[in-house]
A and B are shown apart, each in its own frame.
Chain A
Amino acid sequence: DTEVTQTPKHLVMGMTNKKSLKCEQHMGHRAMYWYKQKAKKPPELMFVYSYEKLSINESVPSRFSPECPNSSLLNLHLHALQPEDSALYLCASSQLDTREKLFFGSGTQLSVL
């Protein structure tokens, strides 16, 4: 199994809503990532987890709250988002070595109204 599964594929939410994005992998990878990608732009790193511990937070606003309940799951909790947060949110995983490749999920297309 070389897949990273993200749910939901599409999400529309209001600025007062609370929602969660989910990501799952069964490749035994101990590093997991959240990236944000705006249209026609490159992915931008948000968070990195290694061994289920948060190791990198790229100064992401607190309305985004990541969680890694176990080595296979990664969540991104969303609360009080702004319309400019609308983007494609990508989850990725890798072996614990920045020199190795990332496996990406197909993303959640988020629209904040």
Chain B
Amino acid sequence: SQQGEEDPQALSIQEGENATMNCSYKTSINNLQWYRQNSGRGLVHLILIRSNEREKHSGRLRVTLDTSKKSSSLLITASRAADTASYFCATGDRGSTLGRLYFGRGTQLTVWP
């Protein structure tokens, strides 16, 4: 299976601290995406990093990709209580047919005020 594995499964921090989540995957990819999901709601796309990129920033988000280690990390800086959610990495196999996007198990982030 191509499914990513997030680490840690749960993370609890105070507001203002940084949160780092890691994702590992198994085979070659086109890109790696991170999504956020509030409890019982749909997923929201956060950031996409392509296989030829090593780092990408979007606001308080920083994503890194190491294709040699088949891993990615998502850093949320200066976290807020509103960042409390589940975070999923998702990958599509290089050369895969349309739509086969595999989601990891997710990291549940809790940010305490």
Contact = CB atoms under 8 A, between A and B. Distances in A.
Interface residues of A, number: 30
B104 A42 contact: yes
A104 B35 CA distance: 10
Nearest to B9: A40
B31 A48 contact: no
A45 B90 CA distance: 12
A109 B44 contact: no
B56 interface: no
B97 A104 contact: no
Interface of A: 4, 6, 31, 33, 41-45, 48, 50, 55-56, 88, 90, 92, 94, 96-107, 109
Specify which of B30, B44, B98, B104 lies most central, judged by the most chain A CB atoms within 10 Å of its CB: B98
Contact of B97 (A56, A88, A102): A56
B43 A90 contact: yes
